[in-house]
Amino acid sequence: MGRVVVLVRHGEAKNKKLGQSDFDRELTKKGAEALRAAFPQTFGLLEPTDKSELWVSSAVRARQTADIANETLAIQTIREMPALYDQDYEAFMSELAQTTADLVVVVGHIPFMEDACDMLTHTFLGFSTGAAAAILLDDNLRGRLLWFMQGPNA
């Protein structure tokens, strides 16, 4: 059996304030609460092992989303990946090809999450905030969509 990759869009973020960078935007309180309520069900089908990894964009809202997801998942290996914020598909696919993890949970942004899902499964899904798609990959990085959960209403 191949590995499972779960693509997750970050939760609802605050609007950018004057002088603030997009990178520093945080989750809204309502968005964080919605993720905490939804993620136990969203990730309930997953069985993380000691070979599982959590990859996260370096942006604040993605790191906050990953922290909330990990309250349910309890994955020990967490890797911050600038390629996710930079929308660098080549770097992402290279990392995916090289990892030995059996489960990779990836927290990032759109359009990257939607495009990565489409690239791996040839299925385009519109990711709302907090949405997640689980994909079973073969050794050639061809994927089959296992399940998709639209994000919670925040």
Q: Please give the model's pTM, rounded to 2 decimal places.
A: 0.96
Tokens of 72: 């349910």
Amino acid identity, residue 124? F
Q: What is the mean pLDDT of residues 122-139?
A: 96
Which candidate, 118, 112, 119, 137, places its Cα nearest to that of 62? Answer: 112
Q: Report if residue 64 sits inside a domain.
A: yes
Provide the CATH number for the domain around residue 119. 3.40.50.1240
Domain count, the chain: 1
- Does 99 reside within a domain? yes
**SS3 of 148, please?**
strand
Q: Which domain holds residue 77?
A: 3-13+22-149
Taking only the tens place, the pLDDT of each residue in 36-67 is 999 999 999 899 999 999 999 999 999 999 99
Query: Would you say residue 154 lies in a domain?
Result: no
Q: Judge whether 104 lies within some domain.
A: yes
Q: What CA–CA distance (Å, rounded) separates 120 from 123?
A: 8
Average pLDDT taken over every residue of the chain: 95
Judge whether 38 lies within some domain: yes
pLDDT for the residue numbered 1? 55
Q: Is residue 49 part of a domain?
A: yes
**Residue 27's CB: how many other CB atoms inside 10 A?**
26
Mean pLDDT (whole number) for 101-121: 97
Q: Is the peptide bond before 48 cis (omega within 30 degrees of 0)?
A: no
Quote the pLDDT of residue 120. 97
Closest by CA to 8, choosing from 120, 134, 142, 99, is 134
- The sign of the torsion formed by the CA atoms of 143, 89, 10, 118 equals negative
